[in-house]
Structure 1
Amino acid sequence: MTLQEQELAAVFAELAGTAARDPLDTQNLLATLVEGGRRLFDAPGAIVQYAPNGSAVQTDGTDPGMRALAADAATWGEGPGHDVRTTGCALIDVDVTTQPTRARWPRWTARAETLGHARVTALPLPAKDGPAGALVLLSAPDGRLDEKALSLARSFADAAAHTLSLQREVSESRVLAGQLEHALSSRVVVEQAKGILAAQHAIPLDEAFAHLRRYARSHQRKVASVAQDIIEGRPIPMEP
Protein backbone atom coordinates (compact mmCIF):
# COMPACT_ATOMS: atom_id res chain seq x y z
CA MET A 1 0.00 0.00 0.00
CA THR A 2 1.44 3.39 -0.99
CA LEU A 3 1.62 6.34 1.36
CA GLN A 4 -1.29 8.02 -0.43
CA GLU A 5 -3.39 4.87 -0.20
CA GLN A 6 -2.59 4.62 3.51
CA GLU A 7 -3.68 8.23 3.93
CA LEU A 8 -6.85 7.45 1.98
CA ALA A 9 -7.66 4.58 4.35
CA ALA A 10 -7.03 6.86 7.33
CA VAL A 11 -9.36 9.55 5.96
CA PHE A 12 -12.05 6.93 5.25
CA ALA A 13 -11.77 5.89 8.90
CA GLU A 14 -12.08 9.52 10.00
CA LEU A 15 -15.24 9.96 7.91
CA ALA A 16 -16.79 6.84 9.41
CA GLY A 17 -15.76 7.88 12.91
CA THR A 18 -17.22 11.36 12.50
CA ALA A 19 -20.52 9.93 11.25
CA ALA A 20 -20.64 7.49 14.18
CA ARG A 21 -19.86 10.15 16.80
CA ASP A 22 -22.25 12.76 15.41
CA PRO A 23 -24.96 10.90 13.46
CA LEU A 24 -27.12 14.03 13.19
CA ASP A 25 -24.34 16.56 12.48
CA THR A 26 -23.91 16.71 8.71
CA GLN A 27 -21.89 19.92 8.94
CA ASN A 28 -19.17 18.23 10.96
CA LEU A 29 -18.97 15.44 8.40
CA LEU A 30 -18.65 17.97 5.57
CA ALA A 31 -15.76 19.63 7.41
CA THR A 32 -14.02 16.25 7.71
CA LEU A 33 -14.64 15.64 4.00
CA VAL A 34 -13.04 18.86 2.74
CA GLU A 35 -10.08 18.57 5.08
CA GLY A 36 -9.55 14.98 3.94
CA GLY A 37 -9.62 16.11 0.31
CA ARG A 38 -7.05 18.79 1.00
CA ARG A 39 -4.72 16.36 2.75
CA LEU A 40 -5.08 13.48 0.34
CA PHE A 41 -4.48 15.40 -2.86
CA ASP A 42 -2.24 18.17 -1.56
CA ALA A 43 -4.85 20.71 -2.67
CA PRO A 44 -4.40 24.29 -1.45
CA GLY A 45 -8.16 24.48 -1.03
CA ALA A 46 -11.27 22.32 -1.07
CA ILE A 47 -14.96 23.07 -0.81
CA VAL A 48 -18.14 21.01 -0.74
CA GLN A 49 -21.79 21.56 -1.62
CA TYR A 50 -24.38 19.11 -0.31
CA ALA A 51 -28.13 19.21 -0.95
CA PRO A 52 -29.70 15.73 -0.96
CA ASN A 53 -33.20 15.39 -2.36
CA GLY A 54 -33.52 19.08 -3.19
CA SER A 55 -32.94 20.23 0.40
CA ALA A 56 -31.21 23.51 1.29
CA VAL A 57 -27.57 23.56 0.18
CA GLN A 58 -25.03 22.96 2.94
CA THR A 59 -21.47 24.07 2.27
CA ASP A 60 -18.02 24.00 3.83
CA GLY A 61 -14.41 24.77 2.96
CA THR A 62 -10.91 24.28 4.24
CA ASP A 63 -10.38 27.89 5.34
CA PRO A 64 -12.46 31.08 5.74
CA GLY A 65 -11.91 32.09 2.10
CA MET A 66 -13.01 28.68 0.86
CA ARG A 67 -16.02 28.63 3.17
CA ALA A 68 -17.13 32.05 1.93
CA LEU A 69 -16.66 31.01 -1.70
CA ALA A 70 -18.65 27.80 -1.18
CA ALA A 71 -21.55 29.64 0.49
CA ASP A 72 -21.60 32.48 -2.07
CA ALA A 73 -21.42 30.05 -5.01
CA ALA A 74 -24.50 28.24 -3.70
CA THR A 75 -26.33 31.58 -3.50
CA TRP A 76 -25.16 32.63 -6.97
CA GLY A 77 -26.03 29.29 -8.52
CA GLU A 78 -22.74 29.16 -10.39
CA GLY A 79 -19.32 27.53 -10.20
CA PRO A 80 -18.05 23.97 -10.58
CA GLY A 81 -19.66 22.81 -7.35
CA HIS A 82 -23.09 24.00 -8.45
CA ASP A 83 -22.75 22.50 -11.93
CA VAL A 84 -21.57 19.11 -10.70
CA ARG A 85 -24.13 19.00 -7.88
CA THR A 86 -26.99 19.67 -10.28
CA THR A 87 -25.82 17.51 -13.22
CA GLY A 88 -23.91 14.69 -11.55
CA CYS A 89 -21.12 15.06 -14.15
CA ALA A 90 -17.51 15.51 -13.01
CA LEU A 91 -15.37 18.43 -14.14
CA ILE A 92 -11.70 17.45 -14.41
CA ASP A 93 -8.75 19.84 -14.31
CA VAL A 94 -10.54 22.98 -15.49
CA ASP A 95 -8.34 26.05 -16.07
CA VAL A 96 -9.99 28.85 -14.11
CA THR A 97 -8.04 31.56 -15.97
CA THR A 98 -9.42 30.95 -19.49
CA GLN A 99 -11.98 33.26 -21.06
CA PRO A 100 -14.62 30.52 -21.56
CA THR A 101 -14.40 29.60 -17.87
CA ARG A 102 -14.61 33.23 -16.80
CA ALA A 103 -17.67 33.69 -19.01
CA ARG A 104 -19.28 30.54 -17.60
CA TRP A 105 -18.68 31.39 -13.92
CA PRO A 106 -17.89 35.14 -13.78
CA ARG A 107 -18.25 35.69 -10.04
CA TRP A 108 -16.84 32.32 -9.05
CA THR A 109 -13.69 32.56 -11.17
CA ALA A 110 -12.98 36.13 -10.05
CA ARG A 111 -13.10 35.05 -6.41
CA ALA A 112 -11.10 31.84 -7.02
CA GLU A 113 -8.33 33.76 -8.79
CA THR A 114 -8.25 36.35 -6.01
CA LEU A 115 -7.70 33.48 -3.57
CA GLY A 116 -4.79 32.25 -5.69
CA HIS A 117 -6.38 29.25 -7.40
CA ALA A 118 -6.00 28.54 -11.11
CA ARG A 119 -7.24 24.98 -11.64
CA VAL A 120 -10.23 23.07 -10.32
CA THR A 121 -11.50 19.50 -10.28
CA ALA A 122 -15.06 18.88 -9.10
CA LEU A 123 -16.42 15.40 -8.40
CA PRO A 124 -20.05 14.41 -7.75
CA LEU A 125 -21.31 13.01 -4.47
CA PRO A 126 -23.91 10.53 -5.73
CA ALA A 127 -26.98 9.29 -3.86
CA LYS A 128 -29.72 6.75 -4.57
CA ASP A 129 -32.07 9.44 -5.82
CA GLY A 130 -29.53 11.33 -7.97
CA PRO A 131 -26.57 13.67 -7.41
CA ALA A 132 -26.54 15.02 -3.87
CA GLY A 133 -23.49 17.25 -3.86
CA ALA A 134 -19.99 17.96 -5.11
CA LEU A 135 -16.45 17.92 -3.77
CA VAL A 136 -14.32 20.68 -5.34
CA LEU A 137 -10.51 20.56 -5.23
CA LEU A 138 -8.69 23.79 -6.13
CA SER A 139 -5.03 24.13 -7.01
CA ALA A 140 -2.29 26.38 -8.38
CA PRO A 141 -1.44 26.49 -12.14
CA ASP A 142 0.86 23.45 -11.87
CA GLY A 143 -1.40 21.49 -9.51
CA ARG A 144 -2.74 18.83 -11.85
CA LEU A 145 -4.04 15.46 -10.63
CA ASP A 146 -2.43 12.51 -12.40
CA GLU A 147 -4.55 9.48 -13.40
CA LYS A 148 -3.83 7.57 -10.18
CA ALA A 149 -4.63 10.56 -7.98
CA LEU A 150 -7.81 11.20 -9.94
CA SER A 151 -8.88 7.57 -9.49
CA LEU A 152 -8.28 7.85 -5.74
CA ALA A 153 -10.18 11.13 -5.67
CA ARG A 154 -13.19 9.48 -7.32
CA SER A 155 -13.06 6.64 -4.79
CA PHE A 156 -12.82 9.16 -1.97
CA ALA A 157 -15.83 11.12 -3.24
CA ASP A 158 -17.89 7.94 -3.66
CA ALA A 159 -17.02 6.73 -0.15
CA ALA A 160 -17.82 10.14 1.32
CA ALA A 161 -21.15 10.20 -0.52
CA HIS A 162 -22.00 6.76 0.85
CA THR A 163 -21.16 7.87 4.39
CA LEU A 164 -23.31 10.98 3.98
CA SER A 165 -26.19 8.87 2.68
CA LEU A 166 -25.94 6.50 5.66
CA GLN A 167 -25.87 9.44 8.04
CA ARG A 168 -28.94 10.89 6.37
CA GLU A 169 -30.79 7.58 6.69
CA VAL A 170 -29.94 7.39 10.40
CA SER A 171 -31.11 10.97 10.89
CA GLU A 172 -34.37 10.36 9.06
CA SER A 173 -34.96 7.16 11.05
CA ARG A 174 -34.48 9.01 14.32
CA VAL A 175 -36.87 11.75 13.24
CA LEU A 176 -39.47 9.16 12.23
CA ALA A 177 -39.03 7.30 15.51
CA GLY A 178 -39.54 10.55 17.40
CA GLN A 179 -42.68 11.33 15.41
CA LEU A 180 -44.08 7.85 16.04
CA GLU A 181 -43.30 8.12 19.74
CA HIS A 182 -45.04 11.49 19.91
CA ALA A 183 -48.06 10.16 18.01
CA LEU A 184 -48.31 7.16 20.32
CA SER A 185 -48.01 9.34 23.40
CA SER A 186 -50.73 11.66 22.09
CA ARG A 187 -52.98 8.69 21.36
CA VAL A 188 -52.59 7.39 24.90
CA VAL A 189 -53.45 10.82 26.33
CA VAL A 190 -56.56 11.07 24.14
CA GLU A 191 -57.72 7.58 25.11
CA GLN A 192 -57.32 8.41 28.79
CA ALA A 193 -59.28 11.65 28.38
CA LYS A 194 -62.08 9.81 26.54
CA GLY A 195 -62.37 7.41 29.44
CA ILE A 196 -62.53 10.24 31.96
CA LEU A 197 -65.23 12.09 30.01
CA ALA A 198 -67.24 8.94 29.47
CA ALA A 199 -67.18 8.16 33.19
CA GLN A 200 -67.93 11.73 34.27
CA HIS A 201 -70.93 12.16 31.99
CA ALA A 202 -72.09 8.55 31.65
CA ILE A 203 -71.73 8.58 27.87
CA PRO A 204 -70.21 6.10 25.39
CA LEU A 205 -66.54 6.40 24.48
CA ASP A 206 -67.25 7.45 20.88
CA GLU A 207 -69.54 10.23 22.09
CA ALA A 208 -66.88 11.36 24.57
CA PHE A 209 -64.34 11.55 21.74
CA ALA A 210 -66.76 13.47 19.51
CA HIS A 211 -67.26 15.99 22.31
CA LEU A 212 -63.51 16.25 22.87
CA ARG A 213 -62.87 16.86 19.18
CA ARG A 214 -65.71 19.40 18.89
CA TYR A 215 -64.40 21.37 21.83
CA ALA A 216 -60.83 21.39 20.43
CA ARG A 217 -62.01 22.62 17.03
CA SER A 218 -64.24 25.34 18.41
CA HIS A 219 -61.37 26.66 20.55
CA GLN A 220 -58.73 26.19 17.82
CA ARG A 221 -56.68 23.79 19.92
CA LYS A 222 -55.18 20.38 19.33
CA VAL A 223 -57.19 17.41 20.58
CA ALA A 224 -54.18 16.08 22.51
CA SER A 225 -53.75 19.43 24.29
CA VAL A 226 -57.38 19.48 25.44
CA ALA A 227 -57.09 15.84 26.46
CA GLN A 228 -54.07 16.68 28.60
CA ASP A 229 -56.13 19.34 30.40
CA ILE A 230 -58.80 16.76 31.19
CA ILE A 231 -56.25 14.28 32.54
CA GLU A 232 -54.72 17.00 34.74
CA GLY A 233 -58.12 17.80 36.27
CA ARG A 234 -59.08 20.85 34.24
CA PRO A 235 -62.61 20.00 33.10
CA ILE A 236 -64.10 21.27 29.87
CA PRO A 237 -67.79 22.17 29.58
CA MET A 238 -70.06 19.86 27.66
CA GLU A 239 -71.11 21.56 24.44
CA PRO A 240 -74.13 20.63 22.33
Structure 2
Amino acid sequence: MTLQEQELAAVFAHLTEEAARDPLDTQALLATLVEGGRRLFDALGAIAYYAPGGGSAVQTAGTDDALRVLAGEAVDWQEGPGYDVRTTGCALIDVDVTIQPTRARWPRWTARVRALGHGRVTALPLPAKDGPAGALVLFGPHSGRLDEKALSLARSFADAAANTLSLQREVTESRVLAGQLEHALSSRVVVEQAKGILAARHDVTLDQAFDRLRRYARSHQRKVQEVAREIIGGRDFPMDP
Protein backbone atom coordinates (compact mmCIF):
# COMPACT_ATOMS: atom_id res chain seq x y z
CA MET A 1 0.00 0.00 0.00
CA THR A 2 1.40 3.40 -1.00
CA LEU A 3 1.67 6.33 1.40
CA GLN A 4 -1.25 8.05 -0.37
CA GLU A 5 -3.38 4.90 -0.12
CA GLN A 6 -2.55 4.65 3.59
CA GLU A 7 -3.54 8.29 4.02
CA LEU A 8 -6.76 7.65 2.10
CA ALA A 9 -7.63 4.71 4.36
CA ALA A 10 -6.98 6.87 7.42
CA VAL A 11 -9.20 9.67 6.08
CA PHE A 12 -12.01 7.21 5.26
CA ALA A 13 -11.75 5.79 8.76
CA HIS A 14 -12.03 9.32 10.19
CA LEU A 15 -15.06 10.06 8.00
CA THR A 16 -16.74 6.87 9.19
CA GLU A 17 -15.95 7.75 12.80
CA GLU A 18 -17.49 11.21 12.41
CA ALA A 19 -20.57 9.78 10.68
CA ALA A 20 -21.13 7.41 13.62
CA ARG A 21 -21.03 10.09 16.29
CA ASP A 22 -24.08 10.69 18.46
CA PRO A 23 -25.41 13.31 18.16
CA LEU A 24 -24.76 13.45 14.43
CA ASP A 25 -22.68 16.45 13.33
CA THR A 26 -22.65 17.15 9.58
CA GLN A 27 -20.41 20.19 10.07
CA ALA A 28 -17.71 18.06 11.68
CA LEU A 29 -17.99 15.59 8.80
CA LEU A 30 -17.52 18.40 6.25
CA ALA A 31 -14.50 19.68 8.18
CA THR A 32 -12.99 16.19 7.99
CA LEU A 33 -13.76 16.07 4.27
CA VAL A 34 -11.96 19.31 3.37
CA GLU A 35 -8.94 18.61 5.56
CA GLY A 36 -8.69 15.10 4.13
CA GLY A 37 -8.90 16.47 0.59
CA ARG A 38 -6.16 19.00 1.29
CA ARG A 39 -3.82 16.39 2.74
CA LEU A 40 -4.52 13.62 0.25
CA PHE A 41 -3.98 15.71 -2.86
CA ASP A 42 -1.33 18.10 -1.59
CA ALA A 43 -3.74 20.99 -2.18
CA LEU A 44 -3.22 24.54 -0.97
CA GLY A 45 -6.69 24.40 0.54
CA ALA A 46 -10.18 23.00 0.12
CA ILE A 47 -13.82 24.02 0.46
CA ALA A 48 -16.93 21.86 0.72
CA TYR A 49 -20.55 22.79 0.01
CA TYR A 50 -23.45 20.59 1.11
CA ALA A 51 -27.16 21.13 0.41
CA PRO A 52 -28.94 17.75 0.15
CA GLY A 53 -32.25 17.50 -1.64
CA GLY A 54 -31.69 20.75 -3.50
CA GLY A 55 -32.29 22.69 -0.30
CA SER A 56 -31.59 26.41 -0.09
CA ALA A 57 -29.69 26.07 3.20
CA VAL A 58 -26.09 25.35 2.23
CA GLN A 59 -23.57 24.11 4.78
CA THR A 60 -19.97 24.99 4.05
CA ALA A 61 -16.51 24.19 5.35
CA GLY A 62 -12.99 25.35 4.53
CA THR A 63 -9.47 24.44 5.55
CA ASP A 64 -8.66 27.94 6.84
CA ASP A 65 -10.48 31.08 7.92
CA ALA A 66 -10.11 32.84 4.56
CA LEU A 67 -11.57 29.90 2.65
CA ARG A 68 -14.39 29.50 5.16
CA VAL A 69 -15.34 33.13 4.60
CA LEU A 70 -15.03 32.70 0.83
CA ALA A 71 -17.29 29.63 0.93
CA GLY A 72 -20.07 31.57 2.63
CA GLU A 73 -19.72 34.57 0.33
CA ALA A 74 -19.76 32.34 -2.77
CA VAL A 75 -23.13 30.94 -1.66
CA ASP A 76 -24.52 34.48 -1.41
CA TRP A 77 -22.97 35.46 -4.75
CA GLN A 78 -24.08 32.22 -6.44
CA GLU A 79 -20.67 32.16 -8.07
CA GLY A 80 -17.66 29.91 -8.34
CA PRO A 81 -16.94 26.32 -9.31
CA GLY A 82 -18.52 25.02 -6.11
CA TYR A 83 -21.83 26.67 -6.97
CA ASP A 84 -21.74 25.44 -10.55
CA VAL A 85 -20.84 21.87 -9.62
CA ARG A 86 -23.42 21.48 -6.87
CA THR A 87 -26.17 22.77 -9.16
CA THR A 88 -25.18 20.83 -12.30
CA GLY A 89 -23.48 17.75 -10.89
CA CYS A 90 -20.67 18.12 -13.47
CA ALA A 91 -17.02 18.24 -12.38
CA LEU A 92 -14.74 21.15 -13.28
CA ILE A 93 -11.15 19.99 -13.68
CA ASP A 94 -8.06 22.15 -13.34
CA VAL A 95 -9.72 25.51 -13.95
CA ASP A 96 -7.32 28.43 -14.46
CA VAL A 97 -8.74 31.34 -12.45
CA THR A 98 -6.33 33.87 -13.99
CA ILE A 99 -7.72 33.85 -17.53
CA GLN A 100 -10.39 36.23 -18.83
CA PRO A 101 -13.18 33.66 -19.46
CA THR A 102 -12.98 32.50 -15.85
CA ARG A 103 -12.90 36.08 -14.52
CA ALA A 104 -15.95 36.92 -16.63
CA ARG A 105 -17.80 33.79 -15.48
CA TRP A 106 -17.23 34.36 -11.74
CA PRO A 107 -16.10 37.97 -11.30
CA ARG A 108 -16.38 38.36 -7.52
CA TRP A 109 -15.28 34.83 -6.71
CA THR A 110 -12.26 34.97 -9.04
CA ALA A 111 -11.11 38.32 -7.67
CA ARG A 112 -11.20 36.99 -4.11
CA VAL A 113 -9.43 33.74 -5.00
CA ARG A 114 -6.67 35.52 -6.86
CA ALA A 115 -6.23 37.89 -3.91
CA LEU A 116 -5.72 34.80 -1.72
CA GLY A 117 -2.95 33.65 -4.06
CA HIS A 118 -4.70 30.72 -5.76
CA GLY A 119 -4.39 30.12 -9.50
CA ARG A 120 -6.08 26.80 -10.29
CA VAL A 121 -9.00 24.84 -8.85
CA THR A 122 -10.68 21.48 -9.34
CA ALA A 123 -14.28 21.03 -8.21
CA LEU A 124 -15.91 17.62 -7.85
CA PRO A 125 -19.59 16.84 -7.18
CA LEU A 126 -20.86 15.16 -4.04
CA PRO A 127 -23.60 13.02 -5.59
CA ALA A 128 -26.77 11.75 -3.89
CA LYS A 129 -29.76 9.63 -4.91
CA ASP A 130 -31.90 12.71 -5.51
CA GLY A 131 -29.29 14.69 -7.46
CA PRO A 132 -26.07 16.57 -6.65
CA ALA A 133 -25.87 17.33 -2.94
CA GLY A 134 -22.75 19.47 -2.89
CA ALA A 135 -19.21 19.96 -4.09
CA LEU A 136 -15.61 19.57 -3.00
CA VAL A 137 -13.29 22.30 -4.30
CA LEU A 138 -9.53 21.71 -4.25
CA PHE A 139 -7.20 24.67 -4.69
CA GLY A 140 -4.10 24.09 -6.83
CA PRO A 141 -1.82 21.35 -5.49
CA HIS A 142 1.70 22.34 -4.47
CA SER A 143 3.11 19.91 -7.01
CA GLY A 144 1.14 21.32 -9.95
CA ARG A 145 -1.85 19.79 -11.69
CA LEU A 146 -3.51 16.59 -10.49
CA ASP A 147 -2.36 13.70 -12.67
CA GLU A 148 -4.83 11.11 -13.95
CA LYS A 149 -4.25 8.74 -11.05
CA ALA A 150 -4.67 11.49 -8.46
CA LEU A 151 -7.77 12.80 -10.22
CA SER A 152 -9.32 9.32 -10.29
CA LEU A 153 -8.55 8.96 -6.59
CA ALA A 154 -10.05 12.39 -5.90
CA ARG A 155 -13.27 11.40 -7.67
CA SER A 156 -13.46 8.20 -5.61
CA PHE A 157 -12.80 10.19 -2.46
CA ALA A 158 -15.60 12.65 -3.24
CA ASP A 159 -18.01 9.81 -4.06
CA ALA A 160 -17.21 7.97 -0.84
CA ALA A 161 -17.56 11.15 1.21
CA ALA A 162 -20.89 11.89 -0.46
CA ASN A 163 -22.09 8.39 0.37
CA THR A 164 -21.09 8.88 3.99
CA LEU A 165 -22.97 12.19 4.11
CA SER A 166 -26.03 10.54 2.56
CA LEU A 167 -25.95 7.73 5.11
CA GLN A 168 -25.69 10.26 7.91
CA ARG A 169 -28.64 12.15 6.47
CA GLU A 170 -30.70 8.95 6.25
CA VAL A 171 -29.92 8.15 9.89
CA THR A 172 -30.95 11.65 10.93
CA GLU A 173 -34.22 11.43 8.99
CA SER A 174 -34.90 7.97 10.42
CA ARG A 175 -34.42 9.28 13.94
CA VAL A 176 -36.75 12.19 13.29
CA LEU A 177 -39.38 9.84 11.83
CA ALA A 178 -39.00 7.45 14.76
CA GLY A 179 -39.51 10.36 17.16
CA GLN A 180 -42.61 11.49 15.29
CA LEU A 181 -44.05 7.98 15.28
CA GLU A 182 -43.30 7.59 18.98
CA HIS A 183 -45.04 10.89 19.72
CA ALA A 184 -48.03 9.92 17.57
CA LEU A 185 -48.31 6.56 19.31
CA SER A 186 -48.03 8.15 22.74
CA SER A 187 -50.73 10.67 21.85
CA ARG A 188 -52.98 7.89 20.52
CA VAL A 189 -52.59 5.90 23.75
CA VAL A 190 -53.47 8.97 25.84
CA VAL A 191 -56.59 9.66 23.78
CA GLU A 192 -57.69 6.01 23.95
CA GLN A 193 -57.29 6.01 27.72
CA ALA A 194 -59.31 9.23 28.04
CA LYS A 195 -62.05 7.78 25.80
CA GLY A 196 -62.34 4.79 28.11
CA ILE A 197 -62.61 6.99 31.18
CA LEU A 198 -65.28 9.19 29.59
CA ALA A 199 -67.23 6.21 28.32
CA ALA A 200 -67.37 4.71 31.80
CA ARG A 201 -68.03 8.04 33.50
CA HIS A 202 -70.91 9.09 31.21
CA ASP A 203 -72.17 5.62 30.24
CA VAL A 204 -71.62 6.16 26.51
CA THR A 205 -69.82 4.25 23.74
CA LEU A 206 -66.17 4.84 22.94
CA ASP A 207 -67.10 6.63 19.72
CA GLN A 208 -69.52 8.90 21.57
CA ALA A 209 -66.87 9.59 24.22
CA PHE A 210 -64.35 10.60 21.56
CA ASP A 211 -66.90 12.82 19.84
CA ARG A 212 -67.55 14.65 23.12
CA LEU A 213 -63.84 14.93 23.83
CA ARG A 214 -63.14 16.35 20.38
CA ARG A 215 -66.05 18.83 20.50
CA TYR A 216 -65.00 20.07 23.93
CA ALA A 217 -61.38 20.57 22.78
CA ARG A 218 -62.46 22.46 19.65
CA SER A 219 -64.92 24.70 21.49
CA HIS A 220 -62.21 25.65 23.98
CA GLN A 221 -59.50 25.97 21.30
CA ARG A 222 -57.37 23.27 22.85
CA LYS A 223 -55.65 20.16 21.56
CA VAL A 224 -57.45 16.87 22.04
CA GLN A 225 -54.30 15.33 23.55
CA GLU A 226 -54.04 18.08 26.17
CA VAL A 227 -57.62 17.61 27.34
CA ALA A 228 -57.15 13.82 27.28
CA ARG A 229 -54.12 14.05 29.57
CA GLU A 230 -56.07 16.13 32.07
CA ILE A 231 -58.93 13.63 32.03
CA ILE A 232 -56.45 10.81 32.74
CA GLY A 233 -55.07 12.95 35.56
CA GLY A 234 -58.49 12.93 37.23
CA ARG A 235 -59.98 16.22 36.07
CA ASP A 236 -63.67 16.18 35.13
CA PHE A 237 -65.05 18.29 32.31
CA PRO A 238 -68.69 19.24 31.71
CA MET A 239 -69.13 17.69 28.29
CA ASP A 240 -72.33 18.15 26.34
CA PRO A 241 -74.03 14.96 25.20
Normalising by the smaller structure, the TM-score range is over 0.9
Say if 1:193 and 1:227, in contact at 8 Å, map to a contact too. yes
Say if 1:189 and 1:227, in contact at 8 Å, map to a contact too. yes
Say if 1:81 and 1:134, in contact at 8 Å, map to a contact too. yes
CA distance in 2, matches of 1:188, 1:48: 45
CA distance in 2, matches of 1:140, 1:17: 27
When normalised by structure 1's length, the TM-score is: 0.95
Deviation, 1:24, is 2.2
- Asked if 1:47 is matched to 2:47, the reply is yes
* CA distance 1:214–1:201, change in 2 (3 Å): same
Map of 1:102 onto structure 2:
103
Aligned partner letter, 1:50: Y
Q: Secondary structure at the match of 1:165?
A: helix
Deviation, 1:144, is 1.5
CA distance in 2, matches of 1:141, 1:107: 24
Map of 1:64 onto structure 2:
65
Map of 1:3 onto structure 2:
3
Deviates more, 1:58-67 or 1:182-191: 58-67
CA distance in 2, matches of 1:196, 1:54: 48
CA distance in 2, matches of 1:128, 1:69: 28
CA distance in 1, matches of 2:222, 2:112: 52
CA distance in 1, matches of 2:148, 2:53: 31
Aligned partner letter, 2:106: W
Percent identity reads 80
Per-residue deviation, residues 117-175 of structure 1 (Å, max 9, x unmatched): 11110000011111111000012797311111111100100100111111111111111
Map of 1:205 onto structure 2:
206
CA distance in 2, matches of 1:75, 1:133: 15
Map of 1:16 onto structure 2:
16
Say if 2:44 and 2:142, in contact at 8 Å, map to a contact too. no
Q: Secondary structure at the match of 2:93?
A: strand
Deviation, 1:22, is 3.9
Structure 2 unaligned segments of length 5 or more: list them. none
Map of 2:233 onto structure 1:
232
Say if 1:47 and 1:60, in contact at 8 Å, map to a contact too. yes
Aligned partner letter, 1:11: V
Say if 2:122 and 2:137, in contact at 8 Å, map to a contact too. yes
* CA distance 1:75–1:119, change in 2 (3 Å): same
Structure 1 unaligned segments of length 5 or more: list them. none
Map of 2:217 onto structure 1:
216
Map of 1:74 onto structure 2:
75
Equivalenced residue count is 240
When normalised by structure 2's length, the TM-score is: 0.95
CA distance in 1, matches of 2:59, 2:147: 29
- Asked if 1:28 is matched to 2:52, the reply is no
Deviation, 1:95, is 0.7
Map of 1:156 onto structure 2:
157
Deviation, 1:221, is 2.0
CA distance in 2, matches of 1:27, 1:82: 18
Say if 2:49 and 2:136, in contact at 8 Å, map to a contact too. yes
Aligned partner letter, 2:72: A
Runs of 4+ with >6 A deviation: none
Say if 1:198 and 1:208, in contact at 8 Å, map to a contact too. yes
Matches within 5 A, 1:174-185: 174-185=175-186
